[in-house]
Amino acid sequence: MSEQTLTAALDLVSHELDDLVDAVGESDPGPAARALDLLDGAERVFVHGAGRSGLALRMTAMRLMHLGLDVHVVGEVTTPAIESGDVLLTASGSGTTGSIVQAARTAVDVGAQVVAVSTTASSPLAELAEVTLVLPAATKTDRSGTASAQYAGSLFEQGVVLLGDALFHALWQRSGHSADDLWPRHANLE
């Protein structure tokens, strides 16, 4: 019985992700192109998200580092001050998470640009962002089951991982580097 339940759960997650990818693919390509340009032209990239969204962005940070970008995770003790020319890549389903909105405000105040990933284009975070990439998913407080049958913000957080990998892949293709070119940047102290 548990195997059937696991199969049904995997099917649900897979279908919801397929729908999310289709919706993002059908949206205006302008924001995604702008986000890619900002990341590609950044002096440094800082990533910031809370909870599972933050964990998802850490995966993106690692891949951007493999590409050769100078990347920092907000909150780590070695993270320097953000400055003009830098980009802050954030994820907040609601776009209202206090620490993320405050970090975006600080980034804008010093002349850095903000790329936001959210479920809405209308939020305090989106107002501060140069570009907002909208993932049509439930926020963690939406328990209606309308946007997703999964618990809390699971679909959004899964979408952040997929979007991060897609951003990386598009930037990698732009770079013209091979997988062998990126490989020496993988951690060797594991």
Helix (H) or strand (E) run with residue 118 in it: strand 113-118
Rounded to an integer, what distance in angstroms lies between the CA atom of residue 162 and that of residue 62? Answer: 14
Do residues 131 and 38 lie in contact, with contact meaning Cβ atoms separated by under 8 Å?
A: yes
Identity of residue 79 = T
Rounded to an integer, what distance in angstroms lies between the CA atom of residue 142 and that of residue 156? Answer: 11
Q: For tokens 């995604």, what's the residue?
A: 32
Could you tell me the maximum CA-CA distance found in the chain, to the nearest angstrom?
56
Rounded to an integer, what distance in angstroms lies between the CA atom of residue 96 and that of residue 60? Answer: 21
Tell me how far CA of residue 87 lies from CA of 16, 102, 168, 175, in angstroms.
30, 15, 15, 18
Give, as one character, the DSSP assignment of residue 16: H
Catalytic residue numbers read: 157
